[in-house]
Amino acid sequence: MTAKSVLTFNNASLSYPPRTKRDKPQLVLDNIRLSVASGEFVVVIGRSGSGKTSLLNLAAGFHQPTSGAVLLDGKPITGPGAERAVVFQNDALYPWLSARDNIAFPLKIKGLGKSEQNRKADELLAVVGLQNAGDRKIWELSGGMRQRVGIARALAAEPRFLLLDEPLGALDSLTRTRMQGFLLDVWSRSKAGAILITHSIDEALMLGTRIVVLSPNPGRLATDLEVDFSKELLGGAKPEIIRNSPLFKHTEEGLTNLIHSLSPEEEAAA
Ligand SMILES: Nc1ncnc2c1ncn2[C@@H]1O[C@H](COP(=O)(O)OP(=O)(O)OP(=O)(O)O)[C@@H](O)[C@H]1O
Ligand SMILES: [Mg+2]
């Protein structure tokens, strides 16, 4: 495995340009200070529109901060890179390719031969439970299957950072629980750093080594909390036992209250 890496938001702010001449630029992220190192799993939660995807897009290099900096090992991120794999909120697979060829794509870019590409892609297809779907085109797969192909593709290039925007959102609860275990497992074996966005506080608690809450309008870091439940899960503890512990319930309640307390007037208007 490569040496330890760190992805840093150094007082990063992001404004989107005004839509019309009369509008002002919209400040979406305000002065974000956050560091994510290899071996960390940072989960970002917050209301819809609080800037979670925007934060991930900065790390992915799709946007540049309006002020401050986003750095990988001290160097400004100026665009996308293979060492930062992204799974998008809405799957961004290549519809004209089969599931296998989608997963193999980053390996092709890396210059691997066709048989090696296929061998690795088939291995990953099995990991995400799609061993029989390799030949299917993307439009022949369900939403949940597409998400799994997206995750497998992100893992294929063995990136240093996994940037995951609600990667399990379209899954039924059984598959979701299975995929959480799987994600945690691959992440811990890869020693990569991860930033995962979710709307589920339960998922945040189960997967994260840290949980970051974004408050909306503009997105600010409301809290940055270290948690240990994912270590228990990785150590073989049963999810229902973890969920029933007083500390889990207490932390879940604290996070729920915090998110509700952030701009409650918005909720009333929604
Ligand atoms: N490319 C863009 N151009 C202009 N405004 C944008 C753009 N992307 C997002 N926004 C605005 O920035 C704000 C934050 O959006 P963002 O997608 O980061 O939120 P989010 O927390 O990911 O929300 P959700 O939970 O619904 O996915 C919203 O007000 C949105 O309308
Ligand atoms: Mg989003």
pLDDT at 2 over 60: no
For 138, which DSSP code? G
Q: What is the mean pLDDT of the chain?
A: 91
Atom of ligand 1 nearest to the CA of 48: 25
**Percent of the chain whose pLDDT exceeds 70:** 96
Atom of ligand 1 nearest to the CA of 197: 22
pLDDT at 185 over 90: no
Condensed to tens digits (0 to 9), the pLDDT of residues 70-82 reads 999 999 999 999 8
pLDDT at 191 over 50: yes
Residue with tokens 């590409």: 117
| One-letter identity of residue 238 | K
Q: Are 58 and 65 in contact (CB under 8 A)?
A: yes
Distance, CA 55 to ligand 2 centroid (Å)? 9
Say if ligand 1 is within 6 A of residue 28 CB.
yes
Condensed to tens digits (0 to 9), the pLDDT of residues 39-70 reads 999 999 999 999 999 999 999 999 999 999 99
* pLDDT at residue 268 in the model: 45
* Nearest residue to 59 via CA among 235, 231, 184, 196: 196
pLDDT at 144 over 90: no
Q: State the CATH architecture for 6-83+159-264.
A: 3-Layer(aba) Sandwich (3.40)
Task: Give strand pairing partners of 163.
Answer: 86, 195
pLDDT at 189 over 90: no
The domain locations on the chain are: 6-83+159-264
Reported as type and span, the H/E element at residue 252 is helix 246-261
CA distance linking residue 242 with residue 248, whole number of Å: 7
CA distance linking residue 76 with residue 63, whole number of Å: 12
Condensed to tens digits (0 to 9), the pLDDT of residues 202-233 reads 999 999 999 999 999 999 999 999 999 999 99
